[in-house]
Amino acid sequence: MSKTNNYKINPCKSCRKNYDITDINSINQCCYNTLGAFEGTKSINDFRNNPEAMNCQQCILDSMKSINRTPCDLRMTAYPDWIQAPHYFPKLLDEEGDVGRAKKKCIELCRSNRYPNECILNCELDSDAVEGVDTVENYVYNTKNYGTEENPIKKLLSNDYVYITAITVCSIIFIFLIVWLLSLFEGGSKKKKL
């Protein structure tokens, strides 16, 4: 937690903003990774009893309730942060004292990072978790995947009509090929008998 600035973090709010409430594993991982970034550690043991860790526990319980599960039949643990993308935002927030400027600098640093998309997502998650800091600067940014383009085939096939049409055409071609191959074999075997 920040020692120089007076703000609170709500990792649950941030994670629910970016993940569906029923995606329990992602919310669990997100919550503890975000909390670990602000604590400056990746070990849950360093902050297990903090109020923010209790926030994560309640967040997971609420997610479980949304799919009619309980801690008795779904055991969740806090995983270590395996993602190699850094969390620049907490340190930048301490330096800047402003969410908007810290987020802008965070995204700029991420563009030159080895994992820019994951790094930018960390900036988003970390900045969304901050409460109690007035934003002086409104910063509009583009979080589109840097260095990667959206797969045009996946985009095309996301349209149900195109998908059904493609399946139909492929099925017709498959049936035509089977009939053609059968006629070749039948025609070839008749010639040998003569």
Spatial contact of 14 and 129, defined as CB atoms under 8 Å apart: yes
Residues in the chain: 194
Domain that holds residue 181: 152-193
Q: Would residue 147 count as lying in a domain? A: no
Same domain for 34 and 120? yes
**Running DSSP on this structure, what letter comes out for residue 46?**
G
Same domain for 91 and 62? yes
How many whole angstroms separate alpha carbon 133 and alpha carbon 5?
9
Same domain for 23 and 113? yes
The pLDDT value recorded for residue 79 is 66
The pLDDT value recorded for residue 83 is 65
Numbers of helices and strands, H then E, in the chain: 8, 2
Ranges in the chain, pLDDT < 50 = 1-4, 135-149, 151-154, 156-157
Q: Would residue 119 count as lying in a domain? A: yes
How many whole angstroms separate alpha carbon 50 and alpha carbon 54?
7
Q: What are phi and psi of 9, to 5 degrees?
A: -120, 145
Same domain for 100 and 16? yes
- Domain count for the chain: 2
Same domain for 56 and 89? yes
The pLDDT value recorded for residue 72 is 85
